[in-house]
Amino acid sequence: MTLNTTIVSSRSIYQCSDFRLSVYNARLDAYEPREIQGHKQVSIAAYGWTASVIFAGIGHTGRFDVGEWLADQMAQVRPNHSYDDLVKRLLSADKWLKSLNTSDKRHTFVAAGFIGEQPVASVVSNFQTAHGLTLEQAEPDLNATHIRPRKPQILVTGSGSRFVTKADRSDLKERVRAGVNRIKMHKILADLNQRVAEFLDSKNLHANNDRFKSVLDTVGPECFTTDLQPNGASEWMTHRLSDALPFMPPQVKALLDQHGIQINPKLDENGNPMPIKIRGMTSQNRPNG
């Protein structure tokens, strides 16, 4: 359960996902937030294309963390692989989705990026499409649908998506058309995420929990944003994460491990190691290989 927002345009790609993981309480017939946070977004660069992927639905299978599974799958996409290879790896999630012992197997990946300088977005889901169709129940298999928009498009998924208004979507499109600064766009997306999170945690909504109990507390105010540019530049950053908690995206950890790099924590005034927190990163990929 989450809020994922994707902006697809010829100028920029933006994605925003919160960190909250929720677990279903059968006795209360409602979702409850877990104490641990989940990372739901991974970016990737190859020869001639770049992409960012987010997901909503199953956060943990009981055997493994889905964010770590996603990071591992993307790490196996080689520089000479195509964007279609990325989509095939997302479709392979069917193997573990089918094995889950749960009544709600709804799950959606959204991949968005540039092939050369052309924007593309793919929705890999068992109940949603890139064209806006959403079913009440999951179908037996994941399917991939795609858009290659000529004008800005907004894709919003997760339990918080119904609270992102038509006005919100129009505002995001207009800001992208106007060429708003990239860093400011990150903040705009983070503020939207926070507003939805606070609404789902509001006392007024809890008073009407029979109507909204399926989404209460399912979106957290902390979030992760990414942008991709047609020239191969990209940047991601975190928002509102507690200074007391460590944070390292799975893909960054895998990259450090691959090169044998170890980050030593800073010590506080008492000599105790402080949490290692990576707040953001920039990169540059050559769009044409």
**Span 225-257, pLDDT tens digits:** 999 999 999 999 999 988 777 888 877 887 788
DSSP E strands in the chain: the ranges are 4-8, 13-18, 20-25, 30-37, 41-46, 49-56, 108-115, 118-125, 143-147, 153-157, 223-228, 233-239, 280-284
Q: Which pLDDT score, from 0 to 100, does residue 62 have?
A: 84
Distance CA(30)–CA(57), nearest Å, equals 15
Distance CA(155)–CA(132), nearest Å, equals 8
Q: Which long-range contacts (CB under 8 A, 24 or more apart) does 179-185 make?
A: 179/11, 182/12, 182/227, 182/229, 182/235, 185/7, 185/12, 185/14, 185/227
Q: What mean pLDDT is predicted for residues 191-203? A: 86
Q: Is the pLDDT of residue 203 over 60?
A: no
Contacts of 199 (CB under 8 A, 6+ apart): 163, 205
Distance CA(89)–CA(42), nearest Å, equals 13
Q: Which pLDDT score, from 0 to 100, does residue 84 have?
A: 97
How far from 109 is each of 15, 55, 58, 67, 179, CA to CA, in Å?
A: 12, 4, 11, 11, 27
The rounded Cα 42 to chain-centroid distance in angstroms is 7
Distance CA(232)–CA(284), nearest Å, equals 5
Q: Which pLDDT score, from 0 to 100, does residue 18 have?
A: 93
Distance CA(119)–CA(129), nearest Å, equals 17
**27 pLDDT tier (thresholds 50, 70, 90):** low
Q: What is the DSSP letter of 164?
A: S
Q: Which pLDDT score, from 0 to 100, does residue 275 have?
A: 87
The rounded Cα 285 to chain-centroid distance in angstroms is 21
The rounded Cα 136 to chain-centroid distance in angstroms is 21
Q: Which pLDDT score, from 0 to 100, does residue 99 have?
A: 93
Q: Which pLDDT score, from 0 to 100, does residue 154 have?
A: 97
Q: Which pLDDT score, from 0 to 100, does residue 151 have?
A: 95
Pick 202 or 237 by higher pLDDT.
237
Q: Is the pLDDT of residue 89 over 60?
A: yes
How far from 121 is each of 134, 152, 167, 256, 289, CA to CA, in Å?
A: 17, 11, 22, 29, 20
**Span 102-156, pLDDT tens digits:** 888 999 999 999 999 999 999 999 999 999 999 989 999 999 999 999 999 999 9
Q: Which pLDDT score, from 0 to 100, does residue 159 have?
A: 83
Q: Which pLDDT score, from 0 to 100, does residue 172 have?
A: 98
Beta-carbon-side half-sphere exposure of residue 84 (alpha carbons within 13 Å): 0
Q: Which pLDDT score, from 0 to 100, does residue 107 have?
A: 94
Beta-carbon-side half-sphere exposure of residue 68 (alpha carbons within 13 Å): 10
With H, G, I as helix, E, B as strand and everything else as coil, classify residue 22.
strand
Q: Is the pLDDT of residue 31 over 70?
A: no
Beta-carbon-side half-sphere exposure of residue 32 (alpha carbons within 13 Å): 8
All structural domains of the chain: 4-242 (3.60.20.10)
Q: Tell whether pTM > 0.85.
A: yes
Pick 189 or 264 by higher pLDDT.
189
Q: Is the pLDDT of residue 88 over 90?
A: yes
Written as six digits, the tokens of 162 are: 């119904």
**Span 49-62, pLDDT tens digits:** 999 999 998 888 88
Q: Which pLDDT score, from 0 to 100, does residue 61 have?
A: 87
**12 pLDDT tier (thresholds 50, 70, 90):** very high
